[in-house]
Every structure is written in structure tokens, then in C-alpha cells.
Amino acid sequence: MIPRYLINFDLDDLPCFSCDLVVVGSGVAGLSTALRAARRYRVALVTKTTLTATATKFAQGGIASALGADDSPELHFQDTVRAGKGLCEEEAVWILVNEGPRRITELIEEVGAHFDMADGHLDLTMEGGHSRRRVAHAQGDATGSELEACLIRRLMYNKRLKVFEDYFAVDLVTAGGRCLGVLTLERDTGTLNYLQAPAVVLATGGMGQLYAVTTNPEICTGDGLAMALRAGAEVADVEFLQFHPTALHIPENPRWLISEALRGEGAVLVDHRGRRIMRGVHPMEDLAPRDVVVNEMVRVMKELDRDHLFLDATAIPAERLRARFPSIYRHCLEAGLDITQTPIPVSPAAHYMSGGVITDLWGRTRVRGLYACGEVACTGVHGANRLASNSLLEGLVFSWRIVQDLERNLGEAAGSVGARTGISYRKKRGHYPVDVNLLRRSLQQKMQDCVGFRRSREGLVEAGEFLKKNRRVLEVAYMAPPGCEVQNMAILAEMMVKAALLREESRGCHFRVDFPGEAEFWRRHIVFRLAENGLSWELRPVGKMTDTGYDWSEELSGESPAEEG
């Protein structure tokens, strides 16, 4: 059984902080939501460690949008849906490509972001799956870090914003299908708090840490996704965990990303004999969409019985390589590799969750008052395989839309929604001696071995058995983040395994060795919900993924609904 809440509580006993909006997560989606919303509302920005410890910080390549003279939103649309392999929600993609350029211009003009320029224009680069040079970048290969820094600089001066660092969000409090706030654990003291607000935005990022080999930082354990599921939101497309083709192949965790932009500037994938592996595989060769590149890499590595290949960037002039990719150059040099002279050992690593919490075109989930934005969300723009550098863009575009929706629906009523009391949750908990660190490591390894890029029924069943055997971890109440993280990981792993078993075909990031072809029947999303006896799922055709169908605004007033759970 997946419990509705990970811990027992009585709201009346908890320290309570009230505001108009709680934003959970401080990557680009969370920061840009908070920045816009705090112009008008009192915002609490909650982050599980520090403000800057996010996956955004590690984003190297950049932000894609149709800003080049030879480009158009139509072309960006076509590339996005081609990469998404028939599972993109086209209305959402149109929003992404049409509104993207305006959001980037605002980032430059209003937030003060500095992108790299060439001859007075944005220096746009190429990445996999793109038919045009449309990826804007900053400090060469440190785009995420530049964005994060300038958003934080702007936020810091806003008196309506309160930052809660080292507050781990455990669960969303709901009653009557409406989100009322967030339960948080203070990391240092273990104190449980209640952050109460009429609207909550989940911007908690991804879940790459479900795998032993990932580019995602330690914090990416999928907490927001699991929390939203427990609170009644719908979740889709979780079988489409994207693997990045080129993570630096040295034993470190997380793996250092070797940006796809290197291939955009001329680097090529080669095997141990220097043979170019993408020649003849796809018309775009090394710049084919990510799923195609990973598939070929995995095939070649198996054939050669090797655990890595090489990215050869030595044809790029050394001076240009150092100037254009300073972080990658430095990091590799520290690891003993001069990339101007030597091919870089690389292998695929878990990188990005293309699915997530289902939202409509305004970021709204099925739970009233609960929004999701960024990697945790499934707006439908990524389909079965995200197009490179569309993720920062998605965070910018949909955070803007969320704040628009808040302004329409929350209006001036924000402050008038009082704190609810009388809500509590009591569940009998077990006292099993679970070593959560050990379980975390073995779950990561099992996911790596059985739910990686290439999957089979046999492996997926093995992963399912492992999760079943360790299910009692969900019966324990942990009053500390590591335990809650492992519980979230176990719930998400179960959902991913189930989805991967159900989808008897290969599409995008999901490759079943026992079902190697794409099947027309499977132009459907697998949608999960938490039912009384555990996870329930249904298949929803493309175009009908979002099924919120409620009027958000009328929920702002009303009696405190009965206790839930």
C-alpha cells in the first residue's frame, strides 16, 4: 500500500507559515515562477538544500527557441514533435515554440541574463534533433548556472519573498480535492512545519537519482512527483526517462555532462578504433535525436563488449574548444584529460524525465490549487523523447503561464483564504530495521540493470520483484529526508516498471528488446493515479491527456472540508 502521507500529523499542532503561494523547488521553473509571482503575492520558496543546489545549475547546452534569422516557430515545432515520436501534445508544443522567443527576450531585458553573442546577435548553436542553430548559451557551457544566478539576484530584493532553505517538502496537504499547503521537515532540527497557501507550485525537478549512473545531482529523487501522486494528481509518460548519450565515463556521481553542443560544434562519436559510429545510422549522424544516438551507442558497446565509447572533439581548434566549453575543458583537465588532444571517454547516463505530473496548458494539475512546472510536470511538450534544450524553455514558458493563471483566479482573494485546521492523519506504522542508504544504492543499481535504456519483460519483472520485496519501507514513518527520499524513489520505481511493462513497443526513450518496433496502438499515454489499493492506470489517447475539467476559481472560498486519508 502506498500511504496517502509519509508521516502522521495534526495540523493544529504544527508551526504554520501562511502566504499566497508556495513554490517548491529552486531551479529555473521555481525561480521564474517565484520572481513573477512575488511582484504581487507573498511567496514562500522552499528548497530541500540550498537555493543553488539544483539540476538547472548543471544545464550546459542552453535554451532552444526560434530566434535565428533562418528559423521559425513552425520549424521548432516540427523538430520537437519529430523527436517526441507521436506522443507530443501539439497544443502545448505550439505554446512552447510561439511563446519561447518572447520569454527569452524578457530574460535578457528584464532579468539581465547575459547570453553569448557573436557579431551583435545571439550566438546560437546546434544540438541533436534540431534542424537549425537555435540554442542560446551563456558563459560557453554554463547556461543553467548563469540563469540561476541572475534569477536569484533579482529575487533577493523582493520583500514579498521568503526563502526556506534546507526545508524538505514531505507532502501536500489536501482536503476535498483541493491543495491547502505543504508539510515540510527542517533538515537540521527535524521539525515538521505547515506552509499554508491557496496555491502551490511544484517545481521540484527530476528523478535521475533512481539510477546508479546519472547526470542529476543527489537531490533529484523525484519527491515532487511522488508527493503529487499521493495528493491525487495524475502522472503520465514515466517510462520515458531520457538517457543523455555523452556523460563523462569516469566513476563519479553524478556523472559530468559532456554537452551535446560539442557535437553541434563538430565533435563526433567514435569507437576504440576511431570509427565513427553514427555514420549511415541516421541522416543527422551525430546530431540525430538523443534516443537514436543512445540506441546506437548501446548496440555498438554490446557488440564490442565495451562499457564506453569516445567523443572526439580534437578537430575543433584548441583555442575555440577552450573558449566555447570552458567548464567541460576544466573538468576534464582536472580528471587528467586534455580534450583538445584526446578523445573523451563517454557513456549514456540517466538524464531527464520526459513525463511527470499531468498539467493543462496553464500548469494546473487535477488537484485544485496545485500547479506543476519544469521537469516534474508533464505538459505534453516532450512526448516520448525530449528535444535537446527544450527543458529550460519549458520552465520559462509555463511558469509565466502559471502566474497568469494565478492572477486571473487568485486575484486579490489570496490573503483572504485562512488557514484550515482540524486536519490530521494517523496511520499505524511499522518499525522495520531498513538501512535506507543501502536500499537507495540497491534500488539505483536494480533500475540501472533492469530499467535502463534497453528493457525486457524478464528484467522488468525482476525489478518489480525487487520492489515488492522491499515494499515495507513504505510502512515506516521517517522523520528525516533520506528515509522520505527512498520512499519516494520506491513509489516512482514501481510506477516506471509498471509503465515499461505495459508499453509493449519501442518508442523514443523506451526501448523494449522483446518489442523492438513502434505500434500505432501505443499512441497513448499511460496515466497513473493513486487508488485505494495502490496505483491505478488508464490509457489516454494523444490529444486527450489533460482531463482536469474544473473551475479553479470557485474553490477559493468555502467551508473547511472533512479530513482526508
Show the DSSP H helices in 470-509 as ranges: 481-502
**Closest approach of ligand SIN to the CB of residue 500, in Å:** 21
Q: Determine the Cα–Cα distance for residues 561 and 174; give it in Å rounded to an integer.
A: 9
The one catalytic residue among 263, 290, 368, 512: 290
Ranges within 324-363 binding ligand SIN (CB under 6 A): 352
Which CB sits closer to ligand SIN, 365 or 391? 391
Which CB sits closer to ligand SIN, 60 or 196? 60
Which CB sits closer to ligand SIN, 37 or 93? 93
- Count, residues near ligand SIN per rule CB under 6 A: 10
CB 75 within 8 A of CB 193: no
Q: Determine the Cα–Cα distance for residues 436 and 422; give it in Å rounded to an integer.
A: 32
Cα dihedral angle (520, 385, 360, 406), rounded to 10 degrees?
180
Which CB sits closer to ligand SIN, 145 or 259? 259
**C-alpha distance from residue 161 to each of 155, 157, 223 (Å):** 8, 9, 23
Measured from each CB, the residue nearest to ligand SIN is 61
Nearest to 484 by CA among 48, 117, 141: 48
Ranges within 357-396 binding ligand SIN (CB under 6 A): 388-389, 391
**Closest approach of ligand SIN to the CB of residue 79, in Å:** 13
142 lies in the binding site for ligand SIN (CB under 6 A):
no
Which CB sits closer to ligand SIN, 247 or 490? 247
Q: What Rg, from alpha-carbon coordinates, does the chain have?
A: 22
**Closest approach of ligand SIN to the CB of residue 257, in Å:** 6
**C-alpha distance from residue 469 to each of 164, 439, 474 (Å):** 36, 11, 11
**Closest approach of ligand SIN to the CB of residue 61, in Å:** 3
Q: Determine the Cα–Cα distance for residues 171 and 20; give it in Å rounded to an integer.
A: 18
Which CB sits closer to ligand SIN, 261 or 489? 261
Site string for ligand SIN, 238-267 (x = CB under 6 A): -------------------x-xxx------
Asked if 275 is an active-site residue, the reply is no
Which amino acid is it at 291?
A: D
Q: Determine the Cα–Cα distance for residues 87 and 84; give it in Å rounded to an integer.
A: 6
**Closest approach of ligand SIN to the CB of residue 314, in Å:** 19
Q: Are strands 454-455 and 511-512 parallel, antiparallel or unpaired?
A: parallel
Nearest to 201 by CA among 373, 395, 379: 373
Which CB sits closer to ligand SIN, 129 or 181? 129
Q: Determine the Cα–Cα distance for residues 256 and 335; give it in Å rounded to an integer.
A: 11
**Closest approach of ligand SIN to the CB of residue 113, in Å:** 17
- Contact with ligand SIN (CB under 6 A) among 3, 25, 30, 61: 61
Phi-psi group of 32: left, alpha or beta (phi > 0 → left; psi -120 to 50 → alpha; rest → beta):
alpha
Per DSSP, the three-state class of 544 is: coil
Ranges within 301-320 binding ligand SIN (CB under 6 A): none
* Positions marked catalytic: 290
Binding residues for ligand SIN, rule: CB under 6 A, are 60-61, 257, 259-261, 352, 388-389, 391
